[in-house]
Structure 1
Amino acid sequence: MQGLSIGEVAQQTGLQPSAIRYYEQMGLIPKPQRHNTRRRYDPKVLQWITLINLARKAGFSIAEVQTLIHGFSEDTPPSARWRSMATTKLTQVAQQIHDLQQMQVVLNHGLQCQCLRLEDCRISNQQGCHEQCEEADQT
C-alpha cells in the first residue's frame, strides 16, 4: 500500500490519531486516500502538520491556523501570510503580557495580606491591603 497509515503519521509527528482526524475534519490537512476503508496519507501531510505545530507554538488557535492556511488568496506568499497573522498575534501577546503583569501584582499583594476577615480585605489597593486591614483590625 502506498502512503502513510494514520498510525505512521501519529508516530512521526507525535500526535494522537484523534488529533490527526480532527485536523483532517477541520480542513487543516488534505484528506487522505482510502484503501479498503483505511486512511493512506500522502507523505506531504508531515509538512502540513509541522506547519500546524509551528503555528500552534506561536500561540495561534485552530481557527487562526485555518486562516493562515485558507484565509488568503492562493497566490499570497507564506511570508505575507505570516506577517499579517504575526502582527495581529503580537498585539494580543502584548495584551496578555500586560494582563499577566497585573495578575502578578495582585498575587504579590495577596502574599502580603494580613487581613483577618475577607470582608476587610482590599487586595486591589495598589499599596496592598495592610493599611486598610490594620484600620479594620483596630475597630
Structure 2
Amino acid sequence: MRFLDIGTLAARSGTSAATLRYYEEIGLITSTGRHGLRRQFGSEALVRLSLIGLGKAAGFSLTQISGMIGRDGIPDLPRDSLRAQADALDARVRDLTALARTLRHAADCSAPSHLECPTFRRLLRVVLRRGHRTRHAAPTPR
C-alpha cells in the first residue's frame, strides 16, 4: 500500500489540510499514522474523498455521507435516498431553469417599465401566490 502525507493528499484531492483533519476527526477518513508530525493516509483515502465530494455535490450532509461509507470503506449507498435526492435535484433544475427564463424575459422585455409588461406582472402575481415557498423558484414566462 502506498501512503500519502497530508500535504500530498490535500494537493491531489483539492481538499485543504484543515478539512482533511476535520474529516478525520468526524471519522470520514482515517490516517494510518504519522511520519514526523505529518499525518499519513493510505491511497484509499483518495477514493473516500471522491465519494465525499460526490455526496456533497449531490446535496447530502456529512452525516448522511458518513452513513453511506461503511467502516470498511466500501460504499453502502441507499438507493431510495439516491433516487429521492436525484428527484430533488431535478426539481431544483426545473426551478432554476424557470428563474433563468424569467430573468431573460425581464432583461429583454421591450415595455418602457417592467411593471408595464403584462407578462412580468403575471410573473409577480404567481410568485406572490406561491408565498416564496421556494427561494430560487420562478414561473416560466408565457
Superposed pair shares fold, TM > 0.5? yes
Aligned partner of residue 30 in structure 1, secondary structure? coil
Paired residue for 2:100, among 91, 101, 104? 104
Structure scoring higher RCO (CA < 8 A, sep ≥ 6) equals 2
Residue of structure 2 equivalent to 1:39: 39
Structure 2 CA distance for aligned equivalents of residues 66 and 124 of structure 1: 46
Q: How many residues align?
A: 120
Query: Residue 58 of structure 1: CA displacement?
Result: 4.1
Please, what TM-score do these two structures have when normalized by structure 2? 0.61
Detail structure 1 runs of 4+ shifted over 4 Å in the superposition. none
Do 2:68 and 2:77's aligned partners in 1 also have CA atoms closer than 8 Å?
A: yes
The Cα RMSD (Å) is 3.4
Paired residue for 1:125, among 118, 122, 126? 122
Once the two structures are superposed, residues 39-69 of structure 1 have per-residue CA deviations (whole angstroms, 9 ceiling, x without a partner) of 1223322221122233344454434322322
Q: Does 1:89 align with 2:100?
A: no
Question: What are structure 2's unaligned runs of at least 5 residues?
Answer: 124-142
Please, what TM-score do these two structures have when normalized by structure 1? 0.62
Residue of structure 2 equivalent to 1:64: 64
Identify the range of structure 1 (61-70 vs 39-48) with the bigger mean alpha-carbon deviation.
61-70
Q: 1:85 to 1:31 in 2, by over 3 A?
A: farther
Do 1:106 and 1:124's aligned partners in 2 also have CA atoms closer than 8 Å?
A: no
Choose 1 or 2 for highest CA Rg.
Answer: 1
Residue of structure 2 equivalent to 1:133: none
Percent of paired sites with the same residue: 29
